[in-house]
Amino acid sequence: MQLTALAYIVAVVTDVFDDGASAEAAHEVRLDDRYDVDGDRYDVDGDLGSVERTAPSRLDNVLRAPTRIIEAPAPVPVAADADEAAQVAADRAQVEQFLPRQCVHGVEDQRPRLTRNEQKRTYAVLAHVVKRLKASDDFLKLLQLVAARESSLQQGLVHRLSPDLEASLQAWRKTAKLYEGNPHHAEPEHWQTYGLFGMNSNYFTQVWDNQADPRVLCDAIVDILVYRRAVVRVIKKAGAAIECTDAAGRRYQHTTRATWETVHRAVSGGKLCPSKSENVAAIMGKYFRSRAAKFGLDPDKSVTLKMLGVEPSKGLGGEIWADQEAVVMGLWAELEAEWAEHPVDAPDPVKIARTGS
């Protein structure tokens, strides 16, 4: 979503009074028809489409006779190998056992009241998952920064601001090929912007599983894993020349290095190419640097894959986590065990000031 400087300022003033949800000036990670569903390519170098911030804030005013271009599905083989069919059935049964954390409200409902204890739990989730990833402190700072900006550290949000609703609807209309066969494919109300980091489900669900319920992005641990995967893809692409288009429509080759600022801009704003509007770029860069300073994050520091860690494959007790769903459920189990012993909402110990002897 590109905005003029004036539109962005107006948006910041007006949107904070909506229902309390934060929103970046752009949420879309633009994927064109060249996108490989298997994840080998992640085209984040294109420019975002323009989305005005005056769109209606209610879903029923946005969703006016939506249509999704749906191609005819490929014919199903008449006879499948018995072993292959059994494996597919087993995989599906395993996925159906997966119980991600649910959204805490609907798209038509106001977000629940945010409490300090909820924010403390979110900080604990971020810290635990980053520790289990064996990722860097700087990656934790980036996650905290984005979650604070996008959701005020409140888990399970459905983002209801006008630009979020409009961007989600536009993306739903464009992404039919990514989600053929998905049970939620033709349900536009399910394809919203969700979670700690305000991720447009039309673009980020396939980073998790293109057959998943898009509302899986309400799960905070899924959010972290998906955000990390998106950053990994940006880093891999940042070192090579990418094709960009300038304001006059001319194509050119652009190279950039992966820093915390460029990584954040590519994941949250959808492009590695320089902005066509220097004013917008300057404003967005200023805001990010200001927030980064508050979290002690150097925006110009180079980012490597090692700094992002790796997704764990075993629990703390050595049990094998066979798939990503098991990873999520295992990490939640670890957190719940920790909170049972050390409740997050327990009052801080009272400090008794010492007096002279």
Query: Would you say residue 192 has pLDDT above 50?
Result: yes
Q: What is the dihedral of CA 172, 173, 178, 183, to 10 degrees?
A: 60
| CA-based nearest residue to 334, from 59, 197, 129 | 129
Give Cα 52 to chain centroid, integer Å. Answer: 21
The pLDDT assigned to 247 comes to 84
Q: How far apart are CA 5 and CA 19, in angstroms?
A: 23
Q: Tokens in use for 278?
A: 């220097």
* Residue 155 Cα distances to 92, 125, 194, 318, 345, angstroms: 27, 10, 9, 28, 16
How many beta carbons lie within 10 A of that of residue 202, not counting itself? 27
Give 76 or 10, the one with higher predicted confidence.
Answer: 76
Give 351 or 117, the one with higher predicted confidence.
Answer: 117
pLDDT single digits (tens) 226-258: 999 999 999 999 988 889 998 888 999 988 899
Percentage, residues of the chain above pLDDT 70: 70
**H or E, element range at 329:** helix 324-341
Q: Which sequence spans correspond to the domains of the chain?
A: 5-61+95-341
pLDDT single digits (tens) 330-357: 999 999 999 999 998 766 554 444 444 3
The pLDDT assigned to 276 comes to 77
The pLDDT assigned to 27 comes to 36
The pLDDT assigned to 111 comes to 94
Whole-model pTM: value is 0.74
The pLDDT assigned to 35 comes to 36
How does the average pLDDT of the chain come out, rounded? 78
The pLDDT assigned to 281 comes to 78
Confidence class of residue 92 from pLDDT cuts 50, 70 and 90?
low
